[in-house]
Structure 1
Amino acid sequence: MRFLLSTIGTRGDVQPLVALALELRGLGQEVHLCVPPDFRDWIDGLAIPVTPAGPELRRSADAPSAPPSPEQLRRLARDSVAAQFGTIEEAARGCDVIVAATALQVAARSVAELMGIPYVFAAYCPAVLPSPHHAPPPMPGQPPATVGDDELWARDAARFNAMFGDALGSHRASLGLAPVEDVRGHILTDRPWLAADPVLAPWPGGGDVVQTGAWILPDRRPLPPELVEFLQAGEPPFYFGLGSRMHAPRGLAEAMVESARALGRRVIVSRGWSGLSLAGDAPDCLSIGDVDHRKLFGRVAAVVHHGGAGTTTAAAQAGAPQLVIPQVYDQHYWARQVDRLGIGTGHPPVTPTADSLIGALRQVLHPDVAARARTVAAETRTDGARTAARRLIASDL
């Protein structure tokens, strides 16, 4: 069989699909990836065929900008849907199944319908999928909810229709496909997959959801020598990172260093795409690029991060206490889960300062939190990608 795996997003969106692709290939299947061009060199190095989709994302992460106007958003949505139809249709030729991740994959199901092949939508977080047991992820700039979850889900569906309905409808009409009244439901399907660990992020109920476990990419790279040397030179440090696309508020790196020193800890800062960087060359601080998170997280005192699904899962599997600083979308869900499970805490909904980080890190360093983190680590699963691959091959969709 030949599978097309497609997503629009940052490394946290792409890496799980790479994990699934390697599992499928290891089971004798053919795989093609359709992802943003930022990741082409990496995937080429894994000898997986890849089609670049959309613009480079890193350029848009280099500096913060004003939120787009509603008209600009509609224009971006129209252009994105048009590009998706062309790119995914070309990449899917000869494929037997399309697997799409992230709800911005507006065209993938229509392409599958046009080709007469199965389509699977996969979410990395329960909050993305409608359920009577939780609200949808908050949109940027959205004020605190004053209505019930049912109304919030209805508004969420209306946003999808307003944003993508006309563009999707016109493309489907040009292909001879029937109109779609519920864009979100069309993308997510009646039986979405949930690629999240059932201990860290259990499906709460409502709807027909297939939870496979998180799709974890094995990383066989050793830690860089300078990082190993730093780790060996003293007590376990704090790790600070904001993922590949989160904006680093002015002065955040300095606040991180100050908070760590106040608690007698050294600092590792991951640069990512966020511009998070250290000034000077102090011996108790180290700036790093991309490394194997699970190898590193097992050797730090605490992981301070943005709350992406992949980083949260990696820290949990390493048994590391966590402090989550959520900014957007599902990151707020992961902050709540870390707190609920007792494996760390979420930062208050304010811009982090040295004092706020010190207070939160004191909670995270409590021995009960470390003990709970080790317990949860032993309960998490690492076979999610293989479970998903076997279901796909067996056509258990």
Structure 2
Amino acid sequence: MRFLLSAIGSRGDVQPVVALAMQLRALDQEVRLCAPPDFAKWIGSFGLPFVPIGPEWRRSASSVRQTPRVPASPTRVRQLAAASLAVQFEVFSAAVEGCDAVVAVTALQVAARSVAELHGLPYVFATWSPAVFPSPHHPPPPLPQSGQAPAPATADNAALWAENARHFNDTFGAALDARRAAVGLPPAGDVRSHMFTDRPWLAADPALAPWPGPADLDVVQTGAWILPDERALPPELESFLAAGEPPVYFGFGSIAVDQHLTTTLVRAARALGRRVLVSRGWASLAAVDGQPDCLAVGEVNQQTLFPRVAAVVHHGGAGTTTAAARAGAPQVVVPQVYDQHYFARRVDALGVGSAHEPVPPSVDSLVAALTVALRPEVADRARALAAAVRADGAATAAQRLVAAHAAAPR
């Protein structure tokens, strides 16, 4: 069997799909990956067939960083959605040839189910956070680039989810149904329900991010899809770790943050007598003064690094939050967009760190957040959570996919 696996997003969205691909290959299945062209070389290093889709994700992130966050008009949003759907239909229609099933992740892939339907193929939608799925127990995540603030705790979640559904329909409905009609398919109906299906998959760890209900949405929680990483840490980093007490790690992945933020990070850690490890990320953060208590590094093995740091300060991406939880590291989450607000709330609720307000941090706000995260009782709870975090989510998902396809009528 051959599975088409597709992710439109950053490294945090693509890496779990690679984890699933490797598990499927271990079961003697064939895979083909769709992802932004940024990841062609990296995915190719695993020997996985690759189909690029859309523009480079990093270039898009850079464009957002250089322009004010002013929400586009509804007309412009619909135009962008129609253009994205056109690309998706074209790429997916070619990529799906010779495949037996389609797995799509992230709520940007509105065309994937239609292409699977057209070819008579099973389709699975998966995501990394419970917050993506409608539930009375949490609000929908603020839509990227919408200018929305996270909903307050007193918000009417049902009303917010109804508005979220209207947004999907207003943005994609007409363009999606036009594309479907052109290939002989009936209207999709509610776009969000069409994309998610009534049995979506949640690739998140049950201890960290459990599905809270409702029961009428039959969510399959597989556990997080974790790609094993056996890489050694760079010699410079090993030397830094060996030279003193565990540092505080700061990293914001692909999030657009101001390069001057590094000064704030370093000052906050030094105010608490802590050494500093800064991940450059897509914002190209750098060490500020060349002092021996501070080091900037590129992309490294978090699975090896995080057990050796005092705390992890990050943006709240699902992958980083899971990696820190699995390592037993206390966390400070500074959420910026989408489901990062959910993970900030979870870290706070579990008592394994603190949730920073979704605003650029100051020295004082980081000192306050780190003071909480560095308490001994927080470290104890973080280690207890680590013992509960599973590492077999990708294997579970791969086995379910193979079993479901084997049981499907021919």
3-state SS of paired residue (1:328): coil
Answer yes or no: is 1:335 the counterpart of 2:344. Answer: yes
Partner of 1:33: 33
Q: Which runs of 5+ in 1 are unaligned?
A: none
How far apart are residue 108 of structure 1 and its match?
0.4
**Rounded Cα–Cα distance in structure 1 between residues aligned with 2:155 and 2:39:** 40
Partner of 2:401: 392
**Rounded Cα–Cα distance in structure 1 between residues aligned with 2:136 and 2:375:** 34
Partner of 1:64: 66
**Rounded Cα–Cα distance in structure 2 between residues aligned with 1:298 and 1:147:** 37
**Rounded Cα–Cα distance in structure 2 between residues aligned with 1:349 and 1:7:** 26
Residue 148 (structure 2) aligned to one of 139, 142, 146: 142
**Rounded Cα–Cα distance in structure 1 between residues aligned with 2:59 and 2:174:** 28
**Rounded Cα–Cα distance in structure 1 between residues aligned with 2:260 and 2:189:** 46
Residue 160 (structure 1) aligned to one of 148, 168, 188: 168
Work out whether residues 336 and 359 of structure 2, in 8 Å CA contact, stay in contact via their aligned partners in 1. no
Answer yes or no: is 1:199 the counterpart of 2:201. Answer: no
Residue 137 (structure 2) aligned to one of 133, 139, 146: 133
Provide, for residues 163-219 of structure 1, a one-character-per-residue CA deviation record: whole Å limited to 9, x for no partner. 111111111000000002200100000000000000000110111000000000001
Partner of 1:174: 182
Partner of 1:52: 52
Partner of 1:225: 235
How far apart are residue 250 of structure 1 and its match?
5.6
Partner of 1:234: 244
TM-score scaled by length of structure 2: 0.94
How far apart are residue 229 of structure 1 and its match?
0.5
How far apart are residue 155 of structure 1 and its match?
0.3
Answer yes or no: is 1:212 the counterpart of 2:235. Answer: no
How far apart are residue 328 of structure 1 and its match?
0.8
3-state SS of paired residue (1:98): strand
3-state SS of paired residue (1:298): helix
Q: 1:79 to 1:293 in 2, by over 3 A?
A: same
3-state SS of paired residue (1:395): helix
Amino acid at match of 2:93: E
**Rounded Cα–Cα distance in structure 2 between residues aligned with 1:111 and 1:196:** 26
TM-score scaled by length of structure 1: 0.97
Alignment of 1:275-286 (within 5 A): 275-286=284-295
**Rounded Cα–Cα distance in structure 2 between residues aligned with 1:224 and 1:197:** 29
Amino acid at match of 1:138: P
Partner of 1:319: 328
Amino acid at match of 2:370: L
Residue 264 (structure 1) aligned to one of 273, 292, 304: 273
3-state SS of paired residue (2:288): coil
How far apart are residue 68 of structure 1 and its match?
4.9
3-state SS of paired residue (1:160): helix
**Rounded Cα–Cα distance in structure 2 between residues aligned with 1:252 and 1:121:** 36
**Rounded Cα–Cα distance in structure 1 between residues aligned with 2:7 and 2:27:** 22
How far apart are residue 148 of structure 1 and its match?
1.1
Partner of 1:88: 92
Q: Which runs of 5+ in 2 are unaligned?
A: none
**Rounded Cα–Cα distance in structure 1 between residues aligned with 2:359 and 2:31:** 43
Work out whether residues 252 and 281 of structure 2, in 8 Å CA contact, stay in contact via their aligned partners in 1. yes
How far apart are residue 147 of structure 1 and its match?
4.9
Partner of 1:10: 10
**Rounded Cα–Cα distance in structure 2 between residues aligned with 1:198 and 1:274:** 31
Residue 318 (structure 2) aligned to one of 309, 333, 338: 309
How far apart are residue 283 of structure 1 and its match?
1.2
Work out whether residues 334 and 359 of structure 2, in 8 Å CA contact, stay in contact via their aligned partners in 1. no
How many residues are treated as equivalent by the alignment?
396
**Rounded Cα–Cα distance in structure 2 between residues aligned with 1:80 and 1:68:** 18
Comparing 270-279 with 336-345, which one deviates more in the overlay? 270-279
Q: CA RMSD in A?
A: 1.3
Provide, for residues 295-328 of structure 1, a one-character-per-residue CA deviation record: whole Å limited to 9, x for no partner. 1000000000000000000000000000000011
Provide, for residues 241-287 of structure 1, a one-character-per-residue CA deviation record: whole Å limited to 9, x for no partner. 0012x121363110100011111111111111123222332211111
Amino acid at match of 2:66: P
Answer yes or no: is 1:358 the counterpart of 2:361. Answer: no
How far apart are residue 73 of structure 1 and its match?
2.0
**Rounded Cα–Cα distance in structure 2 between residues aligned with 1:293 and 1:157:** 36
Amino acid at match of 1:225: P
Q: 1:250 to 1:228 in 2, by over 3 A?
A: closer
Amino acid at match of 1:233: A
Q: 1:103 to 1:349 in 2, by over 3 A?
A: closer
Residue 188 (structure 1) aligned to one of 182, 196, 199: 196
**Rounded Cα–Cα distance in structure 2 between residues aligned with 1:347 and 1:170:** 43
Amino acid at match of 2:77: L
Comparing 61-70 with 119-128, which one deviates more in the overlay? 61-70
Percentage of matched positions with identical amino acids: 62
Amino acid at match of 1:380: V
